[in-house]
Structure 1
Amino acid sequence: MSTAAAPAGAAHPAPAGAGAASMLTLNNVEVIYDDVILVLRGLSLEVPEGKVVALLGSNGAGKSTTLKAVSGLLPSEHGEVTDGKIHFAGEDITRVDASDRVTRGMSLCMEGRHVFEHLSVAENLVAGAYTRSGKESAEDLDKVYEFFPKLADMRARIAGYLSGGEQQMLAIGRALMSRPKLLMLDEPSLGLAPLLVQEIFGYIKRLNTETGLTVLVIEQNARRALEVADHGYIMEQGRIVLEGPAAELRENPDVKEFYLGLGEEGGRKSYRDVKHYKRRKRWL
């Protein structure tokens, strides 16, 4: 497991899954907003086919920008990939339009769920299948209802009246309607009670184990993400500072202290300790 930041000029990301083909690769990607603000600083990571990969970090680390770079949404926010390459299923998609990336097999659940609140559950799901034929859409709808029985029971309900956890299920179900090769989830635990967070991450793990779906999950809840992930990356200030198998990251002293809230002595840190934590991190 790597315990230090990759050099700015590193040519390749560290392998996240030995023997597995790469579904997604970011190689030394830089992102700038408004021609001035550098957010991603030579970021490299890999998502192997059939695996769950977690990208962790605090607010402002650049996690959501990474997803927008992958999904092609940067231009809508005056952002641009100014260096590096993004490959999906073996093809360079760095300059490919967002809609084309969906057609190729990417699906994104954005932070905050963003369901169509005025539409029913069924109508939300059908909207996710706009790239598929009517027959395929009907088959996919049955599969989503089979996987999420709660959605089947609520198919006629208006989405805006669902609970946060139900809306997150709906957002994931809608994403599945396009039959993605890669499902990307941006903060799926946001605003949910602990039991609902556990339920949502249980669904994510089941999707991977039962269907082989490749998943990239962006999270602040490091504990839950590392429980379901095969591999993890930790991001700070627009770059990867630590990566390795999820089981190893869960036992890493720095990860325990700064991301899982478990210090080496198991106690709470004083404000003075916390204020100077960056100086003491082993990877900085």
Structure 2
Amino acid sequence: MTSVPDTASSGAAPAAAPEGTMLSLNNVEVIYDDVILVLRGLSLAVPEGKIVALLGSNGAGKSTTLKAVSGLLPSEHGEVTDGSVLFRGQDITTMDPAERVKQGMSLCMEGRHVFEHLTVAENLVAGAYTQPRGNGAEDLEVVYEFFPKLADMRSRVAGYLSGGEQQMLAIGRALMARPTLLMLDEPSLGLAPLLVQEIFGYIKRLNEERGLTVLVIEQNARRALEVAHHGYIMEQGRIVLEGPAAELRENPDVKEFYLGLGEEGGRKSYRDVKHYKRRKRWL
């Protein structure tokens, strides 16, 4: 487990991505409206065939990180102003979003964003827009086999599904693009605990049974770290801690700030802990 140095302020160059890395962000800086700095030299790596969790509180920059990876920043007046985003070793920092999907990246956005006026089947077909015609029927059956509930509801209008059913539909729609990297933004948002457990069960199965690489953005740190292989903790646009998920689950500061297992009235920021320990070490 590693506390991450502040490369944005130190000027240190990021380490090269290790072999077998599917996605890497290297010292990425993101600015909105030419003035609002959100990501401050962020670096992370997603190994092929693994689940990586990116954790942090509201406003830490988690969703901005996904938008930088998926190419959606320009639609919100944002841009990557420094650093690079690599996918399978290729620099995709300025690549068109649709081209990134063709390269094998799929994103499930926060809030699910299903097409409420379309049926379940029509929503799924819409997810295959980058695929050659003729693959749709085969891919539909794969999704229905993985999500039997969707098969039973294929003719239902998506707007009438429950939150958990809509989340399954959003994941199923992303799978229709035949991704090698699935990115999920707050998949537990607004769901009851049992549904959260079910959704993360599906995420784990997708990784184990289909070998899908997953990057999941979550505030529910406990659930995310149960299925992830590796985790990053983010605050104020920077990575402040990273390590194997099992080690993060046992870290006392992570327990206090993100798992709700610490003392009441404790410290509010993991970055504060780093600074406190640093000061204590040098006093």
- Given that residues 47 and 213 in structure 2 are in contact (C-alpha distance below 8 angstroms), is that contact kept between their aligned partners in structure 1? yes
Counterpart CA distance in 2 for 1:109 and 1:33 is 22
Corresponding residue number in structure 2 for 1:214: 213
Counterpart CA distance in 2 for 1:96 and 1:24 is 14
SS at match of 2:134: helix
Corresponding residue number in structure 2 for 1:121: 120
The 1:86/1:277 distance shift into structure 2, 3 A limit, reads closer
1:94-116 C-alpha deviation (Å, 9 max, x unpaired): 11111111111110000000000
SS at match of 1:139: helix
Counterpart CA distance in 1 for 2:242 and 2:14 is 14
- Given that residues 51 and 229 in structure 1 are in contact (C-alpha distance below 8 angstroms), is that contact kept between their aligned partners in structure 2? yes
Counterpart CA distance in 2 for 1:191 and 1:247 is 26
Any residues of structure 2 matched to 1:176-255 within 5 Å, and which? 176-255=175-254
Corresponding residue number in structure 2 for 1:282: 274
Counterpart CA distance in 2 for 1:133 and 1:94 is 26
- Given that residues 235 and 271 in structure 2 are in contact (C-alpha distance below 8 angstroms), is that contact kept between their aligned partners in structure 1? no
- Given that residues 27 and 84 in structure 1 are in contact (C-alpha distance below 8 angstroms), is that contact kept between their aligned partners in structure 2? yes
Corresponding residue number in structure 1 for 2:13: 11
- Given that residues 7 and 27 in structure 2 are in contact (C-alpha distance below 8 angstroms), is that contact kept between their aligned partners in structure 1? no
Corresponding residue number in structure 1 for 2:75: 76
1:44-79 C-alpha deviation (Å, 9 max, x unpaired): 000011000000000000000000000000000000
1:212-247 C-alpha deviation (Å, 9 max, x unpaired): 000000000000000000000000000000000000
CA drift at 1:132: 1.3
Counterpart CA distance in 2 for 1:227 and 1:199 is 13
CA drift at 1:283: 5.9
CA drift at 1:281: 1.5
Counterpart CA distance in 1 for 2:32 and 2:162 is 34
Normalised to the residue count of structure 1, the TM-score between the two structures is 0.93
CA drift at 1:14: 8.2
Corresponding residue number in structure 2 for 1:23: 22
The 1:279/1:10 distance shift into structure 2, 3 A limit, reads closer
Is 1:269 the counterpart of 2:264? The answer is yes
> Which amino acid is the alignment partner of residue 11 of structure 1?
A
Counterpart CA distance in 1 for 2:156 and 2:130 is 24
Identical counterparts, % of pairs: 79
SS at match of 2:115: coil
The 1:102/1:42 distance shift into structure 2, 3 A limit, reads same
- Given that residues 7 and 14 in structure 2 are in contact (C-alpha distance below 8 angstroms), is that contact kept between their aligned partners in structure 1? no
Alignment RMSD: 1.6
Normalised to the residue count of structure 2, the TM-score between the two structures is 0.93
Unpaired segments ≥5 residues, structure 1: none
Corresponding residue number in structure 1 for 2:279: none
- Given that residues 240 and 270 in structure 2 are in contact (C-alpha distance below 8 angstroms), is that contact kept between their aligned partners in structure 1? no
Counterpart CA distance in 2 for 1:197 and 1:89 is 31
Counterpart CA distance in 1 for 2:82 and 2:142 is 40
- Given that residues 23 and 47 in structure 2 are in contact (C-alpha distance below 8 angstroms), is that contact kept between their aligned partners in structure 1? yes
Runs of 4+ in structure 1 deviating by more than 4 angstroms, as ranges, are 276-280
Counterpart CA distance in 2 for 1:73 and 1:119 is 24
- Given that residues 5 and 283 in structure 1 are in contact (C-alpha distance below 8 angstroms), is that contact kept between their aligned partners in structure 2? no
* Count of residues in correspondence between the two structures: 274
CA drift at 1:177: 0.1
SS at match of 2:135: helix
Any residues of structure 2 matched to 1:134-153 within 5 Å, and which? 134-153=133-152
- Given that residues 253 and 270 in structure 2 are in contact (C-alpha distance below 8 angstroms), is that contact kept between their aligned partners in structure 1? no
- Given that residues 232 and 244 in structure 1 are in contact (C-alpha distance below 8 angstroms), is that contact kept between their aligned partners in structure 2? yes
CA drift at 1:279: 7.5
Counterpart CA distance in 1 for 2:192 and 2:211 is 28
The 1:256/1:136 distance shift into structure 2, 3 A limit, reads same
